Chains A and B, each alone.
Chain A
Amino acid sequence: MPKPLERVNDFVVKFANVNGSGSASANRLFVMSIMRMGIPISPRNIFPSNIQGLPTWYEVRVSEAGHNGARGGVDLMVAMNPETWDADVASIEPGGYLFYDSTKPLPRSKFRSDVTVIGVPLTQICNDAYRDPRQRQLFKNIMYIGALSALIEMDVAAIEKLVGEQYGGKEKLIQPNIAALHMGRDWALANLECPIGLRLRKADKIGKRIFLEGNSAAALGAIYGGATVCAWYPITPSSSLAEAFQRHASRFRTDKASGKNHHAIVQAEDELASIGMVIGAGWNGARAFTATSGPGISLMQEFLGLAYFAEIPAVLFDVQRGGPSTGMPTRTQQSDVLSCAYASHGDTKHVLLFPEDPRECFEMGAIAFDLADRLQTPVFVLLDLDIGMNERLCEPLAWDDKRRFDRGKIMTAAELEAGKNFGRYLDVDGDGIPYRTLPGTHPKRGAYFTRGTTKDRYARYSEEGPVYVDNMERLLRKFETAKKIVPAPIIRNSKIATKLGAIYYGSTSPAMDEALEILASRGVHLDVMRVRAFPFDHAVKDFVDRHDRVFVVEQNRDAQLRTLMMVECGLDAAKLEPVLHYDGTPITARFITEGIGRRVQPSRDMRGAAE
């Protein structure tokens, strides 16, 4: 047997549970109490498309160094689901630990000789302590947290404090939970060798950072960005974004005097109606958005072409999941890049934003509304399940109170009255962006007809070739303007001069950061560019031009961002080498290290380099 793993503040714990068994709150308690010890954590929900009964996992990476990306592998498996036992046990790293409910004896063949087995008769303890079957199930969860607290040296006071916060000071609920916690802890202290090789030690590595989900952060961004209309249709993994908007709106968007709402949220009959309402509201001057995922984007295609061509502001939060079709509804991917960039029939191009973490979901969630109004076009914020539905440690949210909404070019009643020339599709400033009027502005001037058919500069129907081309060329000029105002890419050059580059975006960030450290320690140095928006700033092409080889790291099969860069920047395919992770799990530093490492140092085995 290999030596049992000895690690302090740097390991992965995975909980294997049954969906609907009440494990979620206990697992969250586990991560929050580690965070309160000043140790960075990054948890991930791995769940099925199911309400009750199917397996779920909760993977927690403890990393004092602050690595937020998924690591891969498991050091301590808390195996609470007999159904997934075999695979769960098999996934433990050699030298790792297996924690299980030992009430029912299992044959030797069910275990591995190279891991430390920790049996706690949880069911037995619960059955002895409680009569109610529901209690027996629920307290089992907090009981294993109690046992773990002894095994890995969690701060019990922190856990107790959190239980108190969780139940809002209601002693009746707090006491039984604390009792169960100690029941598990006391049993472990009395019967097991505590602690094990994986241990926690108080640190001071959290600072001002906050812990939240990207979906909630994006919804808060929509609040700060002035969104008043939300029309949506439930779809995993985006539903919690609209629900978070509802929560934030109830808190911040109610008129104190009248109790009435400064917002309107409609759960539509489908995604077509959702985007239709967003477009109707945007046309009428309200900031409006929808939250959806890949299948919703597919359904919205026709409307998106209308919004592009009729030039109507709209914001879409696409929390990407595994495609195509229903695909992997509860797994993560970055596979809607192309279907969003070129959404709808005919020649179209759309603005995309790629937030890397919840903080950027907030920022881009707000900026998106300024961009949509300024550019009078749909703006897509491309989250994914990994950052959307998981809590992540990130810098605190910030807002400048001097900031004002950019409502773009809206001609006012006074300007119309003064006789200012109004052509809805007239490029008066040379930036491709025309003025619009809102319905109801002026009794005699500024009315126009909005349509998806071709029109001239004054919004008059026309199928004349030159009129059509004139309009399409102006739309391209507008897209050029967009390049200057969307968030610019972030380039970080290696300390050691290199001709190797890597490009990545969105939720890949933490895995990429970690991979760069490992690669550097192995003598592989790369300059990196994080793309934050489409259309691409000139810096994107310049970055590629400056390097001999550029790895494009993505979470989809077809290298969609690479395709977009080749098409839009005229880049040489041979120079852009795809590194693609698309099995539905979040990309890891191990994967990136291996993917880039084996190409630049074929002789060296990069596998396991992340450990």
Chain B
Amino acid sequence: MTYVAKPKIHHPKLPTNTLGFTRRDYEGAVSTLCAGCGHDSISAAIIQACFELDLPPHRIAKLSGIGCSSKTPTYFLGASHGFNSVHGRMPSVLTGASLANRDLIYLGVSGDGDSASIGFGQFAHSIRRGVNMLYIVENNGVYGLTKGQFSATADRGSESKRGVANTDDPIDLTSIAIELGATFVARGFSGDKDQLVPLIKAGIRHRGTAFIDCISPCIAFNNHAGSTKSFEFVRQHNEAVNSLDFFEGRAPITATYQAGETIDVEQHDGTVLRLRKISADYDPRDKVKAMNFLQERKHAGEVVTGLLYVDPEVKEMHEHLGTVATPLNELNEAELCPGSAALEKINAQLR
């Protein structure tokens, strides 16, 4: 594998956002994943979302673990600092980065092996702490780089490419994320960009822990008839509970809907999430109902997608820790070092 930079030349009439960036400015290197990989669609959705949100690319930090999904940060946001860390340990590295500088936007990219198996503990604890981040799991139910072993999100009874059935129960990361205190939890599908882009935008703008479980079929090892993470299966069993429109601030709402069909959720930063309800009895602001609904549909064999849970009024880790507004990495000697006079007082107390 080699690093290939994309040519910088682009069409002169390519649209720009308010910062003057084109969509191309949010791209990264050429992907080295398999042609048709769901992960590349997610990368494209991230690029689209960041472009549409007018984010300065250098103010985003993208962190990942190890695996196919964790490689993808190379393929988007080339002007952002990236960190491809250790298998299953992205959450702790991201947490530390956030501790050092609370002003950047943190995007954590992981996979089902990375987050549901080896990194299940760090996944759980980063959510408990309320780290301000968007955590995306690109979930294909399989270990791709090591050639097709089941992961912990593979459904019981689903078959590997060789026809072996999985005998272990799956971990549903969305249910766990809601349980552990994530304040924005969604499930997307790499094959549905229209649904995914607004979810990513809303997740980035959510202050607190936003988690998206994005089903992303592995076309090399998990896109066959016996798989429950194939394009075919997900399309047939996908039940979207809502459709999300994301508005910056009090942006004019262009579409009109009949009363009772939409839910508006205003987030802490003033952004508005307008949810067009598809499933009539689903309210993503009710944690207990959301959890019940997910369990119910899971038993019915459906894959629920959309914004599953949101709590717009949240505190993130820095508020829990009571840290100053200035990023810790910008503090200098004057703020940090008590000096010799204070040390003399300490000495005097130790005699």
Query: Which residues of A in the span 253-308 have a Cβ within 8 Å of any Cβ on B?
Result: 253, 255, 258-266, 268-270, 272-286, 288, 302-303, 306
A276 touches B350 (CB 8 A): no
Among A266, A397, A405, which residue has its beta carbon within 8 angstroms of that of B346?
A397
Counting CB contacts under 8 A, is B238 at the interface?
A: no
Chain B residues within 8 Å of A276, by CB: 85-86, 89, 91-93, 95-96, 122
Interface string of B60-91 (1 = CB under 8 A from A): 01010000000001100011111111100101
A260 touches B323 (CB 8 A): yes
- Of the 9-residue stretches B43-51, B136-144, B267-275, B330-338, which lies at the interface with chain A? B330-338
B340 touches A401 (CB 8 A): yes
- Of the 9-residue stretches A6-14, A348-356, A442-450, A493-501, which lies at the interface with chain B? A442-450
* CA distance in complex: A89, B57 (Å): 73
- Of the 9-residue stretches B98-106, B145-153, B214-222, B240-248, which lies at the interface with chain A? B98-106
A303 touches B338 (CB 8 A): no
B342 touches A277 (CB 8 A): no
A450 touches B84 (CB 8 A): yes
Chain B residues within 8 Å of A442, by CB: 58
B329 touches A286 (CB 8 A): yes
Chain A residues within 8 Å of B351, by CB: 35, 206, 208-211
* CA distance in complex: A440, B334 (Å): 23
Task: Name, among B81, B101, B103, B323, the residue most crowded by chain A CB atoms within 10 Å (CB to CB).
Answer: B81
Q: Is the interface of A mostly helix, strand, loop or mixed?
A: loop
Chain B residues within 8 Å of A461, by CB: 1-3, 74
* CA distance in complex: A438, B350 (Å): 40
Counting CB contacts under 8 A, is B202 at the interface?
A: no
* CA distance in complex: A302, B340 (Å): 39
A279 touches B96 (CB 8 A): yes
* CA distance in complex: A272, B129 (Å): 16
A284 touches B101 (CB 8 A): yes
B81 touches A288 (CB 8 A): no
Interface string of A175-214 (1 = CB under 8 A from B): 0000000000000000000000000000000101111100
B56 touches A443 (CB 8 A): yes
B96 touches A262 (CB 8 A): no
Interface extent on A, as a size class? 35 or more
A286 touches B324 (CB 8 A): no
CB proximity of B1 to chain A, nearest CB, Å:
7
A398 touches B343 (CB 8 A): yes
Counting CB contacts under 8 A, is B59 at the interface?
A: yes
Interface extent on B, as a size class? 35 or more
CB proximity of A329 to chain B, nearest CB, Å:
23
Query: Which residues of A in the span 388-402 have a Cβ within 8 Å of any Cβ on B?
Result: 396-401
B84 touches A283 (CB 8 A): no
B321 touches A281 (CB 8 A): no
B336 touches A284 (CB 8 A): no
Q: Which residues of B contact A (CB under 8 A)?
A: 1-3, 56-59, 61, 63, 73-74, 78-86, 89, 91-101, 103-104, 121-122, 124-125, 129, 318, 321-325, 328-329, 331-333, 335-340, 342-343, 346-347, 350-351
Q: Which residues of A contact B (CB under 8 A)?
A: 35, 206, 208-212, 220, 223-224, 226, 228-229, 231, 252-253, 255, 258-266, 268-270, 272-286, 288, 302-303, 306, 396-401, 404-405, 437-444, 447-453, 460-463
Query: Given known contacts A226-B336, A272-B89, what 7 new A-B pairs fall within 8 Å (CB)?
Result: A208-B347, A231-B96, A255-B324, A258-B325, A262-B335, A405-B336, A448-B81
